[in-house]
Amino acid sequence: MELRTDGGLSREGAIPGIAAGEEDLCLAAARLLQQSTGSPLGARLLLEKQLPVGGGLGGGSSDAATTLVALNALWATGLSVAQLAQLGLQLGADVPLFVHGYSAWGEGVGERLQPQRLEPAWFVVLCPPVQVSTAAVFSDPELTRDSPPITIREPRQVPVGNDLEAVVRRRYPAVATTLDWLRGHGPAALTGTGACVFLPVQDPDQAAAILEARPAGTGGFVARGVDESPLHRRLREWRDNGA
């Protein structure tokens, strides 16, 4: 991000399906913060997209949250994390999680968060060659909508699963095939709506071996779980250095 004093907002970097300069979540987040705070400042945003579009990994929401948090610091608008999270909820249900930047138990639509400390973990993430439409999945008439709510006080007393899986498997056979293959190595699951699937493992060597053996034509990567967003650590360092 680069500060602009003319109030203008621009985003560079390729996003599949969105032309440079069009209103994507990064620009939407920047504009929302600008309008909410009355800041006269602007910014040039450069995005290097890594996560697959339509993969269910929250890449767009994470980008929006990063924009809110970072520009709040860069513009010195002074909003609290809680206020930024409320703004983020206007952009997407999972944006508040990324704004807060910690592992959490989420209730409601995902905006009511309680911090959680998780055991260190590594994940194998496989990416079938399809893009899942979140809107299509949520509007599917066969989607189960009567599952009992789960609270943090009793997470083991009701069945835990992904209500979207049956619909995604039917609509996107490639996702079903990839998920079935990964479940041959352990308790794999769908990333929200997919298309990506993931498996927690004990160490990076095990993860690398599974990734290496993945089906032909399937993308993927190994990720390390973290309890705190690197963005918040970078901001602390930035402020400690006299920003």
Tens digit of each residue's pLDDT (9 = 90 or more) over 100-127: 999 888 888 878 898 888 888 999 999 9
19 pLDDT more than 70: no
For the entire predicted model, the pTM comes to 0.86
- CATH class assigned to 122-224: alpha beta
Q: Which two tokens stand for residue 58?
A: 């929250």
2-114+227-240 against 122-224: fold identical: no
Instruction: Please state the rounded mean pLDDT for residues 184-203.
Output: 93
pLDDT for 173 equals: 94
pLDDT for 192 equals: 86
Tens digit of each residue's pLDDT (9 = 90 or more) over 127-137: 999 988 888 88
Instruction: Please state the rounded mean pLDDT for residues 172-182.
Output: 95
Instruction: Please state the rounded mean pLDDT for residues 28-36.
Output: 97
Buried b / exposed e along 17-47 (16+ C-beta atoms within 10 A): ebeeeeebbbbbbbebbbebbebebbbebeb
Q: Among 18-22, 66-70, 202-206, which is the least confidently predicted range?
A: 18-22
Q: Is the dihedral of CA 18, 19, 25, 31 positive or negative?
A: negative
138 pLDDT more than 90: no
Instruction: Tell which wins on pLDDT, 63 or 239.
Output: 63
pLDDT for 65 equals: 97
Q: For domain 2-114+227-240, give the fold.
A: Ribosomal Protein S5; domain 2 (3.30.230)
Average pLDDT along the chain: 88
**Domain ranges, ordered by start, for the chain:** 2-114+227-240, 122-224
Query: How many whole angstroms separate alpha carbon 20 and alpha carbon 61?
Result: 18
145 pLDDT more than 70: no
